[in-house]
Amino acid sequence: MSLRQRNEIQDFVSSLERWVKMQERILETFRDSKEIIENGDRLDLIQATRIAFNHMIRTLKAFDQWLQDPFITSHIPREQLLEVWKTAYSLLEQLLELDIKHTSEVMNIIYEASKNGKLNPITSKLREAILASEERPSRGTTLSI
């Protein structure tokens, strides 16, 4: 192996070390914040969930890129790939179950609120305006409530 190749490998390993340290810090931050967030108000919960989703998306994209790199995949043992698959499947199953449950519950909440005349009038009008603007050709859409 040439000196240049060794340097490139060392740079690669260093970038992986930085990634791992960053992920450990983020995990620690989420763990430290979990109780505070769970006792927070609705906005805290929405913001924390969106931050979590965004980081999950970023991590999933990185994992996907990782699995597209022949240099990486040619060195990963089958057992480790199997572990990644099993974890990915478990996460997928949990996500789909959460989505089915949450979407069904929200559907029922909105239906009942609509039936009982209890929809938020501001957000309802805004939603109507957004939907209407999506139906017509865009010419600098302005929303009026």
37-66 per-position pLDDT tens digit: 999 999 999 999 999 999 999 999 999 999
Distance CA 122, CA 76 (A): 53
Quote the pTM value.
Answer: 0.81
Task: For residue 44, give every residue at least 6 positions away whose Cβ sits within 8 Å of its Cβ, in sequence order, or none.
Answer: 36, 37
The answer to whether residues 71 and 87 belong to one domain is no
The answer to whether residues 15 and 67 belong to one domain is yes
Q: Is the pLDDT of residue 85 over 90?
A: yes
Q: In this structure, what token pair is assigned to residue 59? A: 């991590």
The answer to whether residues 25 and 70 belong to one domain is yes
Q: Is the pLDDT of residue 142 over 80?
A: no
The answer to whether residues 45 and 82 belong to one domain is no
Distance CA 64, CA 42 (A): 32
Domain coverage including residue 123: 77-145
The answer to whether residues 72 and 82 belong to one domain is no
The answer to whether residues 49 and 113 belong to one domain is no
Q: Which amino acid is at 22?
A: M
Overall average pLDDT of the 8-23 stretch: 96
Q: Is the pLDDT of residue 135 over 90?
A: no
Distance CA 140, CA 66 (A): 41
The answer to whether residues 62 and 85 belong to one domain is no
The answer to whether residues 133 and 98 belong to one domain is yes
